[in-house]
Chain A
Amino acid sequence: MSIFDYTIASAAKALKAKEISAVELTTAYNKAVAELNPRLNAFITTTPDLALEQAKAADARIADGSATPLTGIPIAMKDLFCTEGVRTTAASKILEPFIPPYESTVSGKLKAAGAVMLGKANLDEFAMGSANITSGYGSVENPWKRQGEVAKLVPGGSSGGSAAAVAARMALAATGTDTGGSIRQPAAFTGLAGIKPTYGRCSRWGVVAFASSLDQPGPMARNVEDNALLLNAMAGFDEKDSTSAERAVPDFTTALNRGVKGLKIGIPAEYRLEGTNPEILALWDKGIEWLKAQGAEIVDISLPHTKYGLPVYYIVAPAEASSNLARYDGVRFGKRVDGEDLIDLYERTRAEGFGAEVKRRIMIGTYVLSHGYYDAYYLKAQKVRNLILKDFTNAFGQVDAILTPTAPSAAFGLDEKMNDPVTMYLNDVFTVPASLAGVPAMSVPAGLSAEGLPLGLQIIGKHFDEETVFAVSAAIESAAGFSALPEVRAK
């Protein structure tokens, strides 16, 4: 067995039993990062020395008995989480020189639990993208290949660096953030499990904001159990985030073995989209069979406003982003390009600092909030968003969880969809509705495409019922028995 075969759960056991040390584990991962990152570009910043230091501290904790299940576990931190003393870029040139003097709540909780940070994972610039091709620090390559092909594929986005790092075994697990599918879609593209918790479950404090009413941190890992272990540490009320939920966090691992017997699983008719890859639909049917076989009751449901999800998302998210990104003006932190006067300074700084996709969304967001357009776009979108939420509320009157595909296709080529933003946006079609409704949703690897690429299924639950999501996801995981590994990986 290779040192890279550990999951969080099995590594924690081995660490506790002194079969390995945290320093050994971290040294191996540091080496994997050094070897593979030049090729995959999964990290923007690597922190091997810091990681080693943290690993030593972890070994001390393990020795004195104060370890948690995450102590000594080497993880990748999405470069959207502000990390004290470690450069945080949000994959944007505008934050190239930014070293936060503070630690985000979620990364701080992981640090406190003893997790080891290997570096800051690449992402789409300001988390805007579904392929990790908008990063100011270069695209991320998916460690998976189509069978017999050498073409580079995208890892999905925006948490593409996190996904590629874990899939290529450059990290044991990673943090992600999900605004419209940014954890789930890359997890599906790289054969990982990843959960977007209920909006408000994890604090957004210290996470560079993209769309405040949608952003939600969450874990990405090799399996469902590891996700539960990570979320246990990441979740919880934070008085510094007014939108975080003041409610107790259960031990999510206890839900893993609940099974699905007696659970009602909804299958939304509207997700059977025309043009969806038949392989995806076939996998979905398989998932239905697996759950049925384990004693779940399958219920056909309707989420009638699904088709408005994408248009609503691409109004609400850019609107909030256009405002959230106003603070990057070159005045107080980050990049500054001097100008003749204040306006000139703004224009030069933002013209040079932001990439094309970020500019596009700022323009869209500014437009939909403008006088004379607000009612037709933003206000209407908010109303439809309420209808989408109502769709889910109604559905959850009948069922305990909903099963859908995660993405309409498997990972695509690095230069296949670049020129058409709308096609790119369509990638989020299955993930966006849960984001708009704020409900938890998880992607679990469920099979391979004919070309040998991983495909995921999505399990959507009720607000703050991540436990049922974990239970159903674990059932899918065990039935699917997904064990394929990408060609490019640390061995």
Chain B
Amino acid sequence: MAYSLEGRTGAWEVVVGLEVHAQVISESKLFSGASATYGGAPNAHVSFIDAGFPGMLPVINKECVAQAVRTGLGLRAQINLFSRFDRKNYFYADLPQGYQISQFAHPIVGKGNVEIELQDGTIKHIGITRLHLEQDAGKSMHDQHPSKSVIDLNRAGVGLMEIVSEPDIRSPEEAGAYLRKIRQIVRYLGTCDGNMEEGSMRADVNVSVRKPGEEFRTRCEIKNVNSIRFVMHAVEAEALRQIEVWESGGEVVQETRLYDPSKGETRSMRSKEDAHDYRYFPEPDLLPLLLEQSWVDELKAKLPELPDEKRARFCREYGIPFYDAGVLVAEQATADFYETLAKGRDGKLAANWVTGDFFAAMNRTGKNIENPPVTVEALGQLLDLLADKTINGRIAKDVFEEMVETGKMPAAIVEEKGLKQVTDTGAIDAAVAKVLADNADKVAEYKSGKDKLFGFFVGQVMKAMQGKGNPALVNEAVKTQLG
């Protein structure tokens, strides 16, 4: 069922387009040699170029261009061998030059698309309109002094990629899935850390509503939303507001709005009438950016495997379900962990362990994939002990918990605690015989037709053997002795 919102006059469809601002991972800023790293004392990473001093000129950082191209390739998009920078003019205290160097008419990346997966398993394509490079602004803080604002220019001039989607998104869920996908792709590529809390990824959300089958109606833009959850909330809040406006006979006016997460509503920031006239014109301090196809090809050849391809390969190579593969590739580090574990082992078993006990232990201990609760070597050894039948599955779970707790290797734990699986049929037969003898009444019930008791006998035998009995052999012995 497609997502829609029910108004007084019937169902409304929600139309969303997203502009994602992703901070480029690079040593230095887009047009200066100043450090682009996050943090540092205020105004510690500022060159005279960033501060807009007289006579200072921008020089393009080749690594930022490469990062934009890599991202474009990851978005399966057209790479424009000719692109150009423009000036976007406006006054603000944290915009030292009085203009932002951006790409308006000729972006470095053109049309592309990404695949998103929804809760019900549906796959949908969201079109990418363009990606362009631009400078970030500095940061104004208005709460540090009773009458003055203070400005930190550390971020001023850091490279940003603005990734603009087509208005293909139709629900808060799709908006969230799209953002997660973009974040996943840039993280895989190492072109942006995708960290929305630190502001290195932010989204402008364009929302409109319409009756099914209609043309697009007027949209509003919600600026600078800084979490996926807020984006999803903002889409719904803004759509509901617009439906209310239309249904009460009003008209939605095109404007820029802000989302207030504490109130769960959007409010007007500025209307179209007071919209800035940015007076874009070609940046005369920079020549057009001309890329060689061979350079683009080189970057393409060195691109890491992207999540979609990795997922398909995991299904193919390790025989695991599509859903499980999706979970495993969500983060590159998890995918790497899994693949190291699955190499030369049972891929399905490895997937079950990673998505099951391993994830559970990670959540429980508050650790993460970079600093996992058990090392991939340790977990691998555990899988090997299972594979060569040194231990059985039940014991493995206990060993795993012990590993999480003590950090010891599984072989050592098995050795120490004598957890080796018993495959000696004599010992098993004896244990079975004792259990059946001790439970003569239950045996009688079983024989009169209570089949379910079979599991009870197996459980009792395993218990008597401290869980170490080979499950298949125990099963067989119980069956034989019950006649």
Say which size band chain A's interface belongs to.
35 or more
Distance between A302 CB and nearest chain B CB, rounded to angstroms: 29
Interface centre among B48, B58, B60, by most A CB within 10 Å? B48
Q: Does A301 contact B (CB under 8 A)?
A: no
Tell me if A239 and B59 are in contact (CB < 8 A).
yes
Cα A213 to Cα B287 in complex, Å, equals 10
The reply to whether A240 and B57 form a contact with Cβ atoms under 8 Å apart is yes
Chain A residues with Cβ below 8 Å from B60 are 242
User: Which one, B2-10, B277-285, B307-315, B380-388, is touching chain A?
Assistant: B277-285
Check if A326 is an interface residue, CB within 8 A of chain B.
yes
New A-B pairs, 6, CB < 8 Å, besides A213-B284, A369-B279: A209-B54, A239-B59, A243-B285, A327-B98, A329-B98, A374-B280
Q: State which residues 56-93 of A face B: CB under 8 Å.
A: 81-82, 88, 90
Contact B279 A323, beta carbon cutoff 8 Å: yes
- 18 sampled A-B residue pairs with Cβ under 8 A: A90-B54, A95-B54, A100-B54, A212-B284, A212-B285, A240-B57, A319-B281, A322-B279, A323-B89, A333-B54, A342-B92, A342-B93, A343-B91, A366-B279, A369-B89, A370-B277, A371-B279, A374-B279
Interface stretch of the complex, out of A26-34, A199-207, A262-270: A199-207
Q: From B51, B97, B151, B285, name the one whose CB has the most chain A CB atoms within 10 angstroms.
A: B285
Known: A242-B285, A342-B93, A371-B277. A326 touches B98 (CB 8 A): yes
A344 at the interface (CB under 8 A from B): no
Q: Report Cα–Cα, A184/B68, bound state, in Å.
A: 44
| B96 in the interface (beta carbon within 8 A) | yes
- B170 contact set on A, CB distance < 8 A: none
How far, in whole Å, are A239 and B87 apart by their CA atoms in the complex? 21
Separation of A213 and B48 alpha carbons in the complex (Å): 21
Say whether, besides A326-B98, A346-B91, A369-B279, A242 and B57 are in contact (CB < 8 Å): yes
B149 at the interface (CB under 8 A from A): yes
Question: CB within 8 A of B89: which of A101, A206, A326, A346?
Answer: A326
Question: Contact between B48 and A101 (Cβ–Cβ < 8 Å)?
Answer: yes
The SS class assigned to the A binding surface is loop
Alpha-carbon distance between A205 and B277 when the two chains are bound, in angstroms: 29
In chain B, what residue has the closest Cβ to A92?
Answer: B54
Which of B51, B54, B281 is the one whose CB lies under 8 Å from A88?
B54
Name which residue of chain A comes closest to B53, CB basis: A333
A320, CB-defined interface residue at 8 Å: yes
Contact with B along A186-230 (1 / 0, CB 8 A): 000000000000000000111111011100000000000000000
Q: Chain B, 175-194, contact with A by CB distance < 8 Å: what is the 0/1 string?
A: 00000000000000000000
Q: How far is the CB of B158 from chain A (nearest CB, A)?
A: 18
Most buried by A among B55, B58, B60: B55
Which residues 425-446 in B have Cβ within 8 Å of A in the complex?
Answer: none
- Contact indicator A331/B279 (Cβ below 8 Å): no
A323 adjacent to B281 (CB under 8 Å)? yes
The reply on B52 being an interface residue by CB < 8 A is yes
CA distance A475 to B279 in the complex (A): 47
- Measured in the bound complex, the distance between the Cα atoms of B195 and A31 in whole Å is 64
List, in ascending order, chain B residues with CB within 8 A of A370's CB.
277, 279
Task: Point out the residue from A88, A98, A242 that lies within 8 Å of B58, measured CB to CB.
Answer: A242
> In the complex where A323-B89, A366-B279 touch, is A241 in contact with B149 (Cβ < 8 A)?
no
- Of A90, A98, A342, A346, the contact of B149 (CB 8 Å cutoff): A342
Q: B81 near A: Cβ within 8 Å?
A: no
A199 to chain B, nearest CB (A): 11
Contact with B along A87-120 (1 / 0, CB 8 A): 0101000010010111010000000000000000
B11 within 8 A of A: no
Cβ contacts under 8 Å, A241 to chain B: 57, 59
Complex-state Cα separation, A205 to B56, whole angstroms: 6
On whether the beta carbons of A206 and B52 are closer than 8 Å, the reply is no
How close is A237's CB to chain B, nearest CB, in angstroms? Answer: 12
With a cutoff of 8 Å between Cβ atoms, the chain A residues found around residue B98 in the complex are: 323, 325-327, 329
Seen from chain A, the residues whose Cβ lies within 8 Å of a Cβ on chain B are 81-82, 88, 90, 95, 98, 100-102, 104, 204-209, 211-213, 239-243, 319-320, 322-323, 325-327, 329, 331-333, 342-343, 346, 366, 369-371, 374, 378
Interface contact B99-A326, CB-CB below 8 Å: yes
Residues A331 and B281 in contact in the complex (CB < 8 Å), given A98-B54, A242-B58, A342-B149: no
Contact with A along B251-288 (1 / 0, CB 8 A): 00000000000000000000000000101110011110
A-chain residues with CB within 8 Å of residue B151 when the two chains form the complex: 331
Q: Which residues of B contact A242 (CB under 8 A)?
A: 57-60, 285-287
With CB as the reference atom, state the residue of chain B lying closest to A343. B91
Return the chain B residue nearest A239 by Cβ.
B59
How far apart are the CA atoms of A327 and B98 in the complex, in Å?
A: 5
The 5 closest A-B pairs by CB, nearest first: A326-B98, A212-B284, A369-B279, A213-B284, A327-B52
The reply to whether B54 and A327 form a contact with Cβ atoms under 8 Å apart is yes
Residues of A within 8 A of B55 (CB): 81-82, 100, 104, 204-209
Please give, as numbers and ranges, the residues of chain B lying within 8 Å of A333 by CB-CB distance.
Answer: 51, 53-54
The answer to whether residues A320 and B59 also contact, given A342-B149, A370-B277 and a CB cut-off of 8 A, is no
Give the residues in chain B near A369, CB-CB below 8 Å.
89, 279-281
Nearest residue (CB) in A for B140 is A342
Residues on A with C-beta less than 8 A from B53 are 100, 102, 327, 332-333
B284 touching A320, Cβ below 8 Å:
yes
CB-CB nearest in chain A for B283: A212
The closest CB in chain A to the CB of B286 belongs to A242
CB of A331 within 8 A of CB of B57, answer no
A82-B54 Cα distance, complex, nearest whole Å: 8
In the complex, chain B residues whose CB is within 8 Å of the CB of A213: 284
B101: shortest Cβ distance to chain A, in Å? Answer: 11
Chain A residues with CB under 8 A of B52? 327, 332
Complex contact A331–B287 (CB within 8 A): no
Q: Which residues of B contact A211 (CB under 8 A)?
A: 284
Task: Give the distance to chain A from B360, nearest Cβ to Cβ, in Å.
Answer: 53
Report chain A residues within 8 Å CB of B93: 329, 331, 342
Which residue of A206, A208, A240 is within 8 Å of B59 (Cβ)?
A240
Q: Would you give the shortest CB distance from B276 to chain A, in whole angstroms?
A: 10
Chain A residues within an 8 Å CB radius of B57:
204-205, 240-242
- Chain A residues with Cβ below 8 Å from B56 are 205-206
How far, in angstroms, from A323 to B284 measured CA to CA in the complex?
10
Inter-subunit contact B91/A329 (CB<8 Å): yes
A211 CA to B282 CA in the complex, in Å?
13
User: Nearest Cβ in chain B — how far from A293, in angstroms?
Assistant: 42
Interface residues of B in 97-144 (CB under 8 A from A): 97-99
Instruction: Determine the residue in chain A with the shortest Cβ distance to B277.
Output: A371
Name the A residues within 8 Å of B89 (CB-CB).
Answer: 322-323, 326, 369
Q: Which residues of A contact B92 (CB under 8 A)?
A: 342
